Amino acid sequence: MEEKRFDVEEDAILFDPVRKTGKSFYLTLSLLIAIIFWGVYAYLTQYRNGLGVTGLARPIFWGVYITNFVFFIGISHAGTLISAILRLAKAEWRRSITRSAEVITVLVLFFGVGNILMDLGRPDRMLNIIWYSQFQSPLLWDVSSITVYLTASSIYLYLPLIPDIALLRDYSGKRQWFYRIFALGWTGTERQHRLLEKSIAIMAIIVIPVAISVHTVVSFVFAMTIQPMWHSAIFGPYFVAGAIFSGIAALMIAMNVIRKVYHLEDYLRPVHFNNLGILLLVMTLLWFYFTFTEYLTTYYGGEPIHMVIFWSKFTGRFALPFWGMFVFCFVIPLPLLSLKKTRTPFGTLIASISVVIGMWLERFIIVVPTLTNPRLPNELVLYSPTWVEWSVFVGCISFFILLYMIFTKLFPIVSIWEVREGREKSMAEVQERIRTYLPGIGIE
Amino acid sequence: MPRWGMVIDLDRCSGCQACVVACHAENNIGIVGPEESARGRTIHWIELIPYIEGEYPHIKARLLPRPCMHCDHPPCTKVCPVFATYKNEEGLVGQINHRCIGCRYCTTACPYTVKYFNWHAPEWPKEMKGSLNRDVSLRTKGVVEKCTFCSHRLLKAREKAKVEKRELLPEDYIPACVQACPSAAMFFGDLDDPFSVVSQLSRERRAFRLMEDLGTEPKVYYLSEGM
C-alpha cells in the first residue's frame, strides 16, 4: 500500500486537473455556455420559422449544416483510428496521447450527427428513419455505420479508462461512488490485465475498418448521386484521407491546449509533436495527391457540365474559398511540417489550425458549387449562410470544447496506467538486455 | 397496367404559362412573396425554363415547360431514406409529404431539379384560402413537394368509373396543366397503349426527352420546335 501511495505522487500532475479546478476553468466554462445558449437560440429560431431563416434555397439545398456534418465526422477520424493504428504498431510514444485522441472521436461524433439532424426540415419525424427505413439510401448507410462507429469508439475509449478510474476511486477522494461504478471492480490483478489488454487489442482491430467505412459512406452520400463532380469513384478514399488529415490536425490542437493549460510539458513532449507532425505531413501530401487527381481527371475529360463547376472553383465565384482551401491545406502546412526546425509544438499548432480551416473549406467547396450549377438552366441563386447557420456552427464548436473540458475534469486526459506500464516495460527490457552482457544489475 | 406519360409539343407551346397557373390552383401551391422569390424559394410544380440552343451568333432561346419527368429509373426515389418518395406500378413518382423528414436528399439527387422544399410554412392571401382544392393535402413547412401528374385526379376518376361500372377511359384522367393548355400543346395518357396519342407522338421523329443519356428514362416527351 505504501508503495502505491508513492506511485500516485510520481504522476501527480496527471491527477491535478481532476483534483482541483481553478478560476480560469469556470471563466472559460461560462463563456462557452453563453455561446452555446446563443447557438441554441439560433436553432430555436430555425425550428420555429423553418429552414427559410438559413441562406439555403433551390437549387442549393445543402450548405453549412451538411458541410459541418462531413467536417465533424472527419475530425472524429483522428482519434480512434490513429490511436488504434499506433497501438497495433506498438509505437511506444503513443502512450501519453491516445486518450486525448479517443475523446475527440467520441465527442465530436455527436456534433456530426447533430448537424444532420438540425438540417432536417422536420426533425420531429426523424424516427421515420427507423420506422420506414429504406436501405437503398446512402443516408441509411450513414446512420448504420455511424451508430456502429460511435458504439465501438466509446467502448474503445472506455476500456483503457478502467484502470485509471480505479486509481481515481482509490486515491482521489472526490466522486467515489461514480468511479466505483465505472471501475467495474478493477483491482489490477494479472488476470484482469490480461483480459483488458486482449479486449483493447480486439477493439483496436475492429475499430479500423469501421472508421474507414464511416467516412466512405459519408462520401457515398454525394458520390452515389449523378450530380457533376460528386459522382466520382475517388470520393471514398478522398474523404477518408481528408478525414484523417483534419483529425490529426484537431488532435494536435487539442494536445497543444492540454499541454499549456495543465502543464503537461513532461508528458506531451516535442517528440510527440514531431512524430505526429510527420504523420500530418504525409497526409498533407496525400491530400494534395487526391485533390490533384480529382481535378485533373475532370479537367482532362472536359465535359461541359463538369467544366462549369470546375471553372467556378478555379476562377469563378468560388475561387476565394477554393484557393483558400489550397493555401490552408497545402501551402501553409507543407513547409511548416517539412522542416525539422518548425516541427515544434508551436509550428505544428499553426499548421494544424491551418489544416482544420482548410478542410472545412474543402467540405464546403465540395457541397456548394455542384448545387449552385444544376444540369438544367436555372435562375442564378447564390448561397450565403445567415447568422443562424454561423451561430449554430460556433455553438457546436463551443459545445464540443465544453464537453472536452468536462472530460478532463472527470478523467485523466493522459492515460496514467499506460504511461506507467510503458515506463516499467521499457525499464525491464533494458535491464534484461544489460543482464545478457554485464553482471550486477537488477533490483532483486 | 398503364404507364402514364406526357408529351409537350414545343411547336405549339406559346409560353403563356397557363399550365403553371393551373397547376398552382389545382395543387394548393403556396404563394411566396417577391422577397423570398428573389432568394429562390418559389415553388412551381411545372415551370417554364429558358433553354439556350447553339452559340452566338446563331443562338436561339426556347422556353420549355418542365413538370416532374416521372422517370422510370428515378434517381430521387433511390436516395430517400424513408420511402417518402417512390415509384408506383403505374410509373408515377409519388411524394408522401406527411412522411418526408425534409433531408432534401431527393432534391439534390434529381438531375432535373424538379423537387421543391417548403422553406417556410406555405401561405395564401386571405381571399384564396376559401378556394383551396380539397382533393390535395396541404403541406407543412420543412417537407419536399413536387409534381404528381395530378394523381389525385386519377384516384377520383377510378372511383367514378367504378361507380359507373365501366373501364377507365383515356379522357377520364388528365392533369390540370394539360387540361388548361390553350394551344393544345400538351398531351397525356398511357405510353404502353400503342394506339394512345402520347404513345404515337412519343415515337415521332421530333420526339426527345431531357438528358436521355443519364439513363433516367423520363416519361415526359418533348416534340422539338421548327422541324
Domains of chain B and CATH, by start? 4-223 (3.30.70.20)
CB B147 within 8 A of CB B69: no
Region A357-367: what's the mean pLDDT? 95
My answer on whether A444 and A382 are in the same domain is: no
Q: Which residues contact A257 (CB under 8 A, 6 or more apart)?
A: none
* Residue A3 maps to a domain: no
- Per the document, the length of chain B is 227
Question: Is there a domain that residue A13 lies in?
Answer: no
Statement to judge: residues A239 and A252 lie in one domain: yes
Whole-number Å distance between alpha carbons of B167 and A401: 67
**CA–CA gap between residue B162 and residue B77 (Å, rounded):** 31
| Structural domain for A418, as ranges | 414-444
Greater pLDDT, A303 or A423: A303
> What pLDDT was estimated at residue A20?
80
Q: What is the pLDDT of residue A5?
A: 47
Mean predicted confidence (pLDDT) in B152-167: 93
Looking from the CA of A290 toward its CB, the CA atoms found within 13 Å total 22
Range with the poorest average pLDDT among A106-120, A125-139, B42-56 = B42-56
Q: What CA–CA distance (Å, rounded) separates A174 from A182? A: 14
Q: Which residues, other chains included, contact A50 with Cβ-Cβ below 8 Å and sequence gap of 6+?
A: A121, B118, B119, B120, B121, B141, B142
Residue B132 in contact with partner chain A when CB distance is under 8 A? no
pLDDT at B227: 59
B111-134 mean pLDDT = 91
Which of A49, A120, A226 has the CB atom closest to B103's CB atom? A120
DSSP-assigned letter for residue B195: T
Q: Measure CA B164 to chain center.
A: 29
Query: A220-263: per-residue pLDDT in tens?
Result: 999 999 999 999 999 999 999 999 999 999 999 999 999 998 88
Q: How many CA atoms lie within 13 A of A38 on its CB side?
A: 17
Residues A299, A420 share a domain: no
Q: Is residue A163 in a domain?
A: yes
Task: Tell whether A221 and A323 lie within a shared domain.
Answer: yes
Domain-embedded: residue A216: yes
Confidence at residue B116, expressed as pLDDT on a 0 to 100 scale? 95
Which among A118, A60, A28 has a CA at the least distance from the CA of A393? A118
Q: Which amino acid is at A121?
A: G
pLDDT at A267: 85
Q: B144 forms bridges with which residues in the sheet?
A: B117
Q: Is the pLDDT of residue B170 over 90?
A: no
Residue A295 sits in the same domain as residue A436: no
- Sheet with B207-208, strands from edge to edge, namely B186-190, B4-9, B220-223, B207-208
User: Could you tell me if A353 and A28 are in contact, meaning their C-beta atoms sit under 8 angstroms apart?
Assistant: no
In the three-class reduction of DSSP (H, G, I as helix; E, B as strand; rest coil), residue B9 is classed as strand
Q: Specify if A146 maps to a domain.
A: yes
CA distance, residue A46 to nearest chain B CA (Å): 10
- Are A420 and A326 in the same domain? no
Q: A420 with A336, same domain?
A: no
pLDDT at A380: 84
Query: What average pLDDT does this structure show over A46-50?
Result: 93
What is the percent of chain A where pLDDT is above 70? Answer: 97
pLDDT tens, position by position, B178-226? 999 999 999 999 999 999 999 999 999 999 999 999 999 999 999 988 7
B143 at A interface, C-beta within 8 A: yes
Q: A428 and A355, same structural domain?
A: no
Mean pLDDT of chain A: 90
Kindly report the pTM of this predicted structure. Answer: 0.93
**Partner-chain contact A50 B141, CB within 8 Å:** yes
User: How many structural domains does chain A have?
Assistant: 2
Look at residue B22 and tell me whether its pLDDT is greater than 90: yes
pLDDT number for residue B189: 94
Q: Phi/psi at B175 (nearest 5 deg)?
A: -65, 160
User: A110 and A46, same structural domain?
Assistant: yes
Residues of B in contact with A377 (CB under 8 A): 49-52
Domain assignment present for residue A167? The answer is yes
Q: Residue A359 falls within a domain, yes or no?
A: yes
What residues of B are in contact with residue A144 (Cβ under 8 Å)? Answer: none
Q: Are A73 and A250 in contact (CB under 8 A)?
A: no
The span from the CA of A392 to the CA of A40, in Å, is: 7
Q: What is the pLDDT of residue A169?
A: 85
Residue B50, beta-bridge partner list: B63
ipTM score of complex: 0.91
Q: How confident is the model at residue A381 (pLDDT cuts 50, 70, 90)?
A: confident
Q: Is B78 on the interface with A (CB under 8 A)?
A: yes
Do A373 and A438 lie in one domain? The reply is no
What region, left, alpha or beta, does residue A7 occupy, with left being phi > 0 and alpha being psi -120 to 50 degrees? alpha
In which band, very low, low, confident or very high, does the pLDDT at A442 lie, cut at 50, 70 and 90?
Answer: low
- Reduced to 3 states (helix: H, G, I; strand: E, B; else coil), residue B188 is strand
User: What CATH number is attached to the domain comprising A400?
Assistant: 1.20.1630.10
What digits encode the pLDDT tens for the residues A382-408?
A: 999 999 999 999 999 999 999 999 999
Which residues of chain B are within 8 Å of residue A62 when distances are taken between CB atoms? 104, 108
User: What's the pLDDT tens digit per position in A51-95?
Assistant: 999 999 989 999 999 999 999 999 998 788 888 888 888 888 888
Predicted confidence at residue B1, as pLDDT, reads 86
Using alpha carbons, select from B215, B201, B71, B88 the residue that is nearest to residue A226: B215
Predicted pLDDT at A425: 83
Query: Residue A7 above 70 pLDDT?
Result: no
- Cβ separation of A132 and B51 shorter than 8 Å? no
What pLDDT is attached to residue A6? 44
In a domain, A396, yes or no: yes
pLDDT higher than 50, residue B51: yes
| One domain, residues A260 and A395 | yes
Q: Which residues lie below 8 Å from residue B3, measured CB to CB, with a gap of 6+?
A: B90, B91, B190, B191, B192, B219
Query: Which cell numbers in the block locate residue B29?
Result: 401551391
Average pLDDT over residues A302-312: 93
Whether residue A259 sits in one domain with residue A221: yes
